[in-house]
């Protein structure tokens, strides 16, 4: 089979279109390449972009963690702002780890796994929920109980699916 020069241009154009679509859907390369489908991590398997999950509960605000204080949970690495926070997490990681593996709570309620902004968060019924950004958070908050109920059901169906299949 022989290829004309115009065929390679067509392939390049198609690849660019696919790359644009993937980036427009909220996927980032580190998410798409992750072998951990149940947890939102970066290429180094860092969860919550390095923010301390315990601080959302104890300090009632997002606090950037430190590589000095870490813990592993479900194949992801979490950073903490202090040794006491690290200890609390290690004692009960399921209490402090974000719901839906740290994917956007609103997105999960719509059958998607979107990345998050650690500044778009809420603790509801002693559970941490993160969202894509503050604009999405503003849509999620007024309906959070219904959206959490939907997401809880949907999460069991998509937890192990790669982002590219949603």
pLDDT digits (tens, 9 = 90+) for 27-66: 444 443 444 789 999 999 999 999 999 999 999 999 999 9
76-80 and 117-124: which strand pairing? unpaired
Does 18 map to a domain?
A: no
Give the burial class of 109: count Cβ atoms within 10 A of its Cβ; 0-12 exposed, 13-18 middle, 19 or more buried: buried
Does 20 map to a domain?
A: no
Q: What is the C-alpha separation between 69 and 79, in angstroms, rounded?
A: 6
Does 5 map to a domain?
A: no
Inter-residue contact 47 to 64 (CB < 8 Å): no
Q: pLDDT at position 23, please?
A: 42
At 4, is the pLDDT very low, low, confident or very high (cuts 50, 70, 90)? low
- Domain hosting residue 97, numbered range: 28-160
Does 16 map to a domain?
A: no
At 10, is the pLDDT very low, low, confident or very high (cuts 50, 70, 90)? low
Residue 25 gets the label, from left (phi > 0), alpha (psi -120 to 50) or beta, of: alpha
Q: What is the C-alpha separation between 96 and 52, in angstroms, rounded?
A: 9
Does 59 map to a domain?
A: yes
**145 pLDDT more than 60:** yes
Q: What is the C-alpha separation between 62 and 128, in angstroms, rounded?
A: 11
Look at 9-23, 49-63, 97-111 and tell me which has the smallest mean pLDDT: 9-23
Please state, for a pLDDT cut of 90, what percent of the chain lies above it.
Answer: 75
**Alpha-helical regions (H) of 25-63:** 29-33, 55-58
Structural domain tally of the chain? 1
The residue-averaged pLDDT of 126-153 equals 98
Does 64 map to a domain?
A: yes
Beta bridge partners of 129: 122
Does 153 map to a domain?
A: yes
Does 102 map to a domain?
A: yes
The residue-averaged pLDDT of 74-86 equals 97
DSSP secondary structure code for residue 96 in this structure = H
**9 pLDDT more than 90:** no
Q: What is the C-alpha separation between 10 and 15, in angstroms, rounded?
A: 9
Nearest to 135 by CA among 114, 151, 152, 149: 114
Mean pLDDT (the chain) is 86
Q: pLDDT at position 131, please?
A: 98
């Amino acid at each position: 089979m022989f290829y004309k020069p115009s065929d390679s241009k067509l392939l390049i154009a198609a690849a660019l279109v696919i790359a644009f679509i993937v980036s427009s859907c909220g996927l980032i390369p580190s998410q798409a390449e992750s072998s951990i489908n149940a947890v939102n991590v970066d290429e180094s398997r860092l969860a919550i972009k390095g923010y301390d999950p315990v601080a959302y509960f104890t300090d009632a605000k997002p606090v950037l963690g430190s590589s000095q204080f870490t813990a592993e949970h479900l194949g992801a690495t979490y950073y903490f702002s202090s040794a006491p926070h690290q200890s609390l997490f290690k004692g009960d990681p399921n209490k402090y780890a974000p719901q839906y593996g740290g994917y956007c709570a609103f997105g999960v309620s719509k059958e998607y796994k979107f990345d998050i902004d650690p500044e778009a968060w809420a603790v509801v019924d002693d559970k941490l929920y993160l969202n894509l950004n503050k604009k999405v958070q503003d849509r999620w908050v007024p309906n959070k109980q219904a959206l959490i109920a939907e997401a809880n059901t949907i999460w069991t169906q998509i937890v192990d699916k790669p982002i590219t299949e949603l």
